[in-house]
Amino acid sequence: MRAPISIIPDDPSPSDWRWQVRHAITTLAELEEVLVLSDAEREGARRAEAAGLPLSITPYYASLASRTDPACPIRRQCVPRIEEATEVEGDLRDPLGEEAHTVAPHLVSRYPDRALLLVTDRCSVYCRFCTRSRMVGQDGGARPLAELEPAFAWLAAHEAITDVVVSGGDPLIMNEPRLEAILKQLAGIPHLGTVRIATRAPVTLPQRIDAALCRVLRLFPATWVMTHFNHPRELSPESTRALAMLIDHGLPVMNQTVLLRGINDDAATLTALFKGLVARRVRPYYLLQADPVRGTSHLRTPLRRGVELMRELQGRVSGIALPKLVVDTPHGMGKVALGPEAIVREADGVTTLRTFRGEVDYVDPPR
Ligand SMILES: *Cc1c(COP(=O)(O)O)cnc(C)c1O
Ligand code: SF4
């Protein structure tokens, strides 16, 4: 990590989230100061400087990375590589068809009872596999409240919607007054039962989580926090503190992990991650097949790999630590849960089930 030399007299310290954002690594030159880059990374960073998904890495997140090893699971998530220039069959610019399902500016509705509100396009770290690489870091920053008015009006007019996912970008990169205004608007819509804040801040910017922020998040009566840890190395003392603070303030925390080739696509890594999360009172919710975002094929696994991994974990890892394996299907057709398939065969009221110990028959009661 770069030496945190403060040049502005009132510049806060690295333990302040604003310092982390202000000192984020955003250029190839800054990246070369902290990491020994491979050619593929150097070319990738040069490309990211010029166009597309920008480069940004907080000094904190960079401090978790290996200085010399390009295969490091932290580096692979945040350092661009030249493979991002490669497009393969099946790659999509907007893999979940969010633009086609936009019902008001910044509001996506793909399900009957929930909706997705994109309140900013900024993140502290840009993940190289991001589903929204088409728009994050491009398009104006935090959305002014006036620009979100039509989305609030749509939500207020649709009583079937009971759950709003607030995402972006990363909503927690916004300041408290803005978050407060959004949560108060949502709290004023009587049919909303839950608000979910989808954020990587506990992973990439844990300094952001403080008591004042937690109080703002509680302005909606049932705010859930959805985090995004992908590797056990991200479970640092700082992120552990951030998670404890959220939970101690009464905010339930769930985690969505993206399955990533060469980063977490093995049973031992996932087991350590999921057990580490539950030991911090965080419930692993989804293990997500990586979306077919253009230029991310080097980070993705075949669909079968996730099923194989779940088969390896099933029965061997506590149920509270096991997430559902989910694929968010292309073009916005919706999420589906995948196996492992437990039913081997069914005949005459006898169902043969495959458990982690082997096959066994289950006999139905007489009809
Ligand atoms: C993923 C997603 C949700 C939330 O889905 P859950 O399965 O309830 O977690 C809601 N809206 C959109 C548009 C989504 O992509
Ligand atoms: S934090 Fe989320 S929105 Fe931001 S770059 Fe990472 S995956 Fe994309």
12: pLDDT strictly greater than 90: no
Q: What is the distance between the alpha carbons of residues 280 and 291, in angstroms, rounded to a whole number?
A: 28
Reference 135, options 151, 121, 123; nearest CA is: 121
Mutate which of 227, 335, 338 for ligand 1? The one with the most ligand atoms within 8 Å of its CB, which is 335
152: pLDDT strictly greater than 70: yes
Residue 170 located in a structural domain: yes
Same domain, 141 and 235: yes
Q: Considering 130, 208, 285, 286, which one is annotated as catalytic?
A: 130
Pick from 35, 56, 85: which residue ends a domain? 85
Residues 38-56: tens digit of each pLDDT: 999 999 999 999 888 999 9
Same domain, 198 and 304: yes
As a whole number, mean pLDDT of residues 151-160 equals: 98
As a whole number, mean pLDDT of residues 361-366 equals: 94
Note the helical H segments in 86-191: 145-157, 176-187
Q: What is the 3-state secondary structure (H, E, C) of 53-79?
A: CCCCECHHHHHCCCCCCCCCHHHHHHC
Reference 197, options 228, 155, 175, 238; nearest CA is: 228
Same domain, 66 and 214: no
pLDDT of residue 271: 98
Residue 278 located in a structural domain: yes
Residue 262 located in a structural domain: yes
78: pLDDT strictly greater than 90: yes
CA of 352 from ligand 1 middle (Å) equals 33
CA of 344 from ligand 2 middle (Å) equals 39
Query: What range does the domain containing 19 cover?
Result: 13-85
Ligand nearest to the CA of 103: 1
Same domain, 223 and 134: yes
Same domain, 303 and 163: yes
Q: Is 354 a catalytic residue?
A: no
88: pLDDT strictly greater than 80: yes
Q: How many domains would you assign to the chain?
A: 2
Same domain, 208 and 301: yes
Residue 361 located in a structural domain: no
Same domain, 277 and 333: yes
85 in helix, strand or coil? helix
Residue 352 located in a structural domain: no
Does the C-beta of 110 come closer than 6 Å to ligand 1? yes
Same domain, 65 and 145: no
Residues 175-214: tens digit of each pLDDT: 999 999 999 999 999 999 999 999 999 999 999 999 999 9
258's enclosing H/E stretch is: strand 253-259
Q: How confident is the model at residue 266 (pLDDT cuts 50, 70, 90)?
A: very high
Mutate which of 114, 130, 329, 331 for ligand 1? The one with the most ligand atoms within 8 Å of its CB, which is 114
**Residue nearest ligand 2's atom 5 by CA:** 126
Q: What is the distance between the alpha carbons of residues 55 and 84, in angstroms, rounded to a whole number?
A: 12
Q: What is the distance between the alpha carbons of residues 35 and 29, in angstroms, rounded to a whole number?
A: 10
Q: What is the pTM assigned to this prediction? A: 0.94
Q: Is 367 a catalytic residue?
A: no
pLDDT of residue 95: 92
pLDDT of residue 11: 62
pLDDT of residue 1: 47
Q: Considering 127, 143, 214, 311, which one is annotated as catalytic?
A: 127
Cβ–Cβ < 8 Å for 326, 336: yes
Ligand nearest to the CA of 172: 2
6: pLDDT strictly greater than 80: no
Q: How confident is the model at residue 5 (pLDDT cuts 50, 70, 90)?
A: low
244's enclosing H/E stretch is: helix 237-248
Residue 22 located in a structural domain: yes
328: pLDDT strictly greater than 70: yes
Pick from 85, 113, 136: which residue ends a domain? 85
Residues 112-132: tens digit of each pLDDT: 999 999 999 999 999 999 999
pLDDT of residue 52: 84
Same domain, 146 and 32: no
3: pLDDT strictly greater than 90: no
Same domain, 261 and 184: yes
Pairing status of strand 102-104 against strand 107-108: antiparallel
Residue 346 located in a structural domain: no
Could you tell me the CATH number of the domain that includes residue 276? 3.20.20.70
Pick from 34, 54, 85: which residue ends a domain? 85
Q: Is 130 a catalytic residue?
A: yes
Does the C-beta of 132 come closer than 6 Å to ligand 1? no
Does the C-beta of 170 come closer than 6 Å to ligand 2? yes
**Residue nearest ligand 2's atom 8 by CA:** 130
Per-residue b or e along 113-144, where b marks 16 or more CB atoms closer than 10 Å to that residue's CB: ebbbbbbbbbbbbbbbbbbbbbbbbeeeebbe
Same domain, 125 and 33: no
Residue 357 located in a structural domain: no
Dihedral angle of Cα 297, 228, 106, 24, to the nearest 10 degrees: -90
Same domain, 74 and 193: no
Mean pLDDT of the residues in the chain: 95
Token pair 């399955």: residue: 259
Q: Is 110 a catalytic residue?
A: yes
